[in-house]
Amino acid sequence: MTAPLLSVRDLRTHFMTRAGVAKAVDGVSFDLAAGEILGLVGESGSGKSVTGFSLLGLVDPPGRIVGGSIRFQGRELVGMPPAALRALRGRHLAMVFQDPQATLNPVLTIGAQMALAVQAHERASDRAALDRAAAVLARVGIPEAARRLSAYPHEFSGGMRQRVAIATALLHGPALIVADEPTTALDVSIQAQILAKMKALAAESGTALIWISHDLATVSSLADRVLVMYAGRIVESGPVGAVLRAPLHPYTRGLLDSLPAMATPGEKLRQIPGAAPSLLALPAGCAFAPRCPRADAACAAPPPEVAQGSRRAACHHPLEAAA
Amino acid sequence: MRILRLALRRLAASLPTLLLILMGMFLLLQLAPGDTVDALMAQMGGGDAALAEELRRFYGLDVGIAAQLWRYLTRLVTLDLGFSAIYGKPVATVILERLPPTILLMVSALSFAFFFGLVLGVLAARRVNRWPDTLISTLGLVFYATPSFWFGLMAIVLFSVYLQWLPAGGFYDITMGYTGIAAMLDIARHLVLPTLTLGLIFLAIYLRIMRASMLEVLSLDFVRTARAKGLTETRVVARHVLRNAMLPMVTLIGLQAGTMLGGSVVVESVFALPGLGRLAYESVVQRDLNTLLGIVFVSALLVIAINFVVDILYARLDPRISAES
């Protein structure tokens, strides 16, 4: 088997806040093959976005990668000099962010922002850069792309802005795009369009995709494999169909049960009781134990890894274990 | 086109303000005891009541206040600022003679404050909470807290009296009879200290605003996007951050144009510059109503003109401003 495109081992990203050390990402490991689509799922504060930022070296202070390894295309990204990492960003490793309202610069035209991205990695004339931008905008489905280059972000709708962000990420044909909840801020109908477009574009260009979302439904329609994160750790991973059909970890079960689509009409939605633990003071054992219906005394110890084929879960009492 | 329409509308809106300022000024000055004729007669060493009455009729001071105001405003429509009894010349001529030093001083002080405020603000924000930021911020506070007349006097003591590098006052050296480039350099030398004195306080304000504004913009999401695109840090700041961060500074220039004109009265007095500020002070002392009103009119025009330029600049910098909103 060839080496994976991306290999993350024991990644730990901590935030040195005044109140103490917040362990936003605490020992995350996973592999990603070229062209694969990976869903990264979790509640707010589970560390999924910080994992994404860590991959690109975009963790803002007081946050810092304190340990672990990120190997991308055979190169180690943790501890790489900033200039080398910058040369990689946007070219081989791109990112699409959550809120298209805030992620485009309000005072620069779409064309200028995309041309800057082209010229960050290539010596290109303004004309050539704008032509490239127009071509990619057309690919993501923006009509009259060449004319829209001189428009400002406020003249675009939310969905259009996100298409611009996706087009910008695609400019250099990266090997991996990290998409951080790119459809969360959009209407449901627009969400579906963007999802379909993204899937088609990734397949067409062989780009691998890490799709970060709190929404299991969007992930299930898009990803090949899914990672479920809780309190800075991966609690379950596996092929998306199998995980959603029969989750091993009680937390994944809880997430699925709280989806409105899974509920019987007229009945109350089933919630996961309690709230996510503070990242400043994580329990030594399973972080989910205080909210878990299956928890007992054993859960005070760090959970063992349960393997079932290509599936993994970190739990003392997995559901349907060895079934 | 969009920008021009916006600017013209703002210009039209400022006309009633101008009218109100002039009327208010006119009425306020009536409250001061004595008039031009009293001041003139005092200069002449006194005179009888008949002469005073004659002079009052000659300068149109014999009718009621309302009639005087009406007469003044109707003449103003034809851009006639009236006649200065004290200087014996039309007010327009008097003001035009005194305008260049003031405008030069304002432009140089504003450019100095804006440019260095911008640079220092950016430097401080890039090194926030480390020693360059602490140094710059402390200096800013010192400049802001120092009264400009005191700073001006100390600068004269140090640079003119003790070191003898720069002239202590005046607009140019009349004894040298310079022409052309030499005359310009001479004026520039005379303006160094007044510019520093007037500009430092504004520099301090601009640098605080720029630092805060930079920090705010640096934390916005599109900056992270720019970094994710692989832009160098210099490009992120130059292309993405600077333009957004400059918006509050540009607004501030418009707001402070009037304050700066007020500040130039003090600075012109300290450095004996024959400018508009000094003229205003002298006119008050001599009850030269026409000249004083003319200065108010020209100052208001100046502030309106600066705000007009600022509006255009702002609309150019921020495409979200439209003539419709």
Tallying the residues shown for chain A, one arrives at: 323
Say whether both B117 and B266 belong to one domain.
yes
Task: Name the pLDDT band for B112 (thresholds 50, 70, 90).
Answer: very high
Q: What are phi and psi of B24, to 5 degrees?
A: -60, -45
Alpha-carbon torsion (A222, A225, A230, A231), positive or negative: negative
More confidently predicted of B86 and A225:
A225
Judged by a CB distance cut-off of 8 A, whether residue A150 touches chain B is no
The residue out of B48, B63, B91 marking a domain boundary is B91
pLDDT at A263: 66
> In angstroms, rounded to a whole number, what is the distance separating the alpha carbons of residues A253 and A216?
11
Predicted pLDDT at A262: 67
pLDDT for position B204 = 92
Q: Beta A305-308 vs A63-72: how paired, if at all?
A: unpaired
Check CB contact of A94 with chain B, cutoff 8 Å.
yes
CB within 8 Å: A152 and B239:
no
Q: Is A104 on the interface with B (CB under 8 A)?
A: yes
pLDDT higher than 70, residue A123: yes
CB A248 within 8 A of CB A315: yes
Q: Which of B134-143, B172-181, B288-297 has the weakest average pLDDT? A: B172-181
Contact A121 B244 (CB under 8 A): no
- Crossing angle of helices A158-170/A126-139, nearest 10°? 120
pLDDT band at A323 (very low <50, low <70, confident <90, very high): very low
A168 touches chain B (CB under 8 A): yes
**Is B121 in the same domain as B257?**
yes
Structure tokens at B118: 């911008």
Give yes or no: residues B206 and B252 share one domain: yes
What percent of chain A shows pLDDT beyond 70? Answer: 98
Are B181 and B146 found together in one domain?
Answer: yes
Q: Any CB–CB contact under 8 A between B320 and chain A? A: yes
Evaluate if residue B323 carries a pLDDT over 70.
no
Top pLDDT among B205 and B47 is at: B205
Question: ipTM for the complex?
Answer: 0.84
Three-state secondary structure along chain B? CHHHHHHHHHHHHHHHHHHHHHHHHHHHHHHCCCCHHHHHHHHHCCCCHHHHHHHHHHCCCCCCHHHHHHHHHHHHHCCCCCEECCCCEEHHHHHHHHHHHHHHHHHHHHHHHHHHHHHHHHHHHHCCCCHHHHHHHHHHHHHHHCCHHHHHHHHHHHHHHHCCCCCCCCCCCCCCCCCHHHHHHHHHHHHHHHHHHHHHHHHHHHHHHHHHHHHHHHCCHHHHHHHHCCCCHHHHHHHHHHHHHHHHHHHHHHHHHHHHHHHHHHHHHHCCCCCHHHHHHHHHHCCCHHHHHHHHHHHHHHHHHHHHHHHHHHHHHCCCCCCCC
Find, in chain A, the residue whose alpha carbon is nearest to that of B320. A154
Average pLDDT over residues B46-65: 79
Contacts of A175 in chain B (CB under 8 A): none
* Predicted local distance difference test score (pLDDT) of residue B266: 84
Residue B116 pLDDT grade (very low, low, confident, very high; cuts 50, 70, 90): very high
* B87, pLDDT greater than 50: yes
The string of pLDDT tens digits covering residues A82-99 is: 888 888 898 899 998 888
In this structure, is residue B106 part of a structural domain?
Answer: yes
pLDDT digits (tens, 9 = 90+) for A51-78: 999 999 888 888 888 888 898 888 888 8
Question: Is residue B193 over pLDDT 90?
Answer: no
Asked if A167 is an interface residue toward chain B (Cβ–Cβ < 8 A), one would say no
B83 and B173: one domain?
Answer: no
Strands A233-239 and A311-314: antiparallel
Intervals of CATH 3.40.50.300 along chain A: 6-92+174-314
Q: Do B221 and A88 touch (CB under 8 A)?
A: no
In a domain, B8, yes or no: no
Chain A residues within an 8 Å CB radius of B228: 56, 58, 89-90, 94-95, 97
Is A124 in CB contact (< 8 Å) with chain B?
no
With an 8 Å Cβ cutoff, is B2 touching chain A?
A: no
Whether B296 maps to a domain, the answer reads no
pLDDT digits (tens, 9 = 90+) for B225-264: 898 888 888 888 888 899 899 888 888 888 888 888 888 8
Q: Return the CATH architecture of domain A6-92+174-314.
A: 3-Layer(aba) Sandwich (3.40)
Q: Do B230 and A58 touch (CB under 8 A)?
A: no
User: How many interchain CB pairs under 8 A, A with B?
Assistant: 80
Pair B25, B146 in one domain: no
What is the mean predicted confidence (pLDDT) over B11-15?
82
B322 pLDDT band, cuts 50/70/90, is low
Nearest residue on chain B to A87, alpha-carbon basis: B230
Band (pLDDT 50/70/90 cuts) for residue A2 is: low
Across A219-247, average pLDDT:
88
Q: Can you give the pLDDT at residue B75?
A: 85
Q: Is residue B319 part of a domain?
A: no
Q: Residue B206: pLDDT band by 50, 70, 90 thresholds?
A: very high
Q: Give the domain extent around B53.
A: 20-91
Q: Which residue has the higher pLDDT, B322 or B245?
A: B245
Q: Which two tokens stand for residue A310?
A: 């290509």
Q: What is the pLDDT of residues A148-195, one digit of tens each?
A: 888 888 888 888 888 898 889 888 888 899 998 888 777 778 888 888
On whether both B172 and B61 belong to a single domain, the answer is no
Confidence of residue A322 (pLDDT cuts 50, 70, 90): very low
CA B240 to chain A, closest CA, distance in angstroms equals: 7
In this structure, is residue B295 part of a structural domain? no
Domain containing residue B189: CATH number: 1.10.3720.10
Q: CA B164 to CA B158: how far, in whole Å?
A: 8
The C-alpha of A245 sits at a distance from chain B's nearest C-alpha, in angstroms, of 36
Average pLDDT over residues A285-293: 84
Which pair of tokens denotes residue B55?
A: 């002079």
Supply the pLDDT for residue B108: 92
When pLDDT is averaged across residues A299-318 and rounded to a whole number, the result is 84
Residues B34 and B165 in one domain: no
One domain, residues B112 and B42: no
Report the C-alpha gap between A183 and A99 in whole angstroms. 8
Looking at the structure of chain B, the number of domains it has is 2
**Looking at the domain assignment, is residue B2 inside a domain?**
no
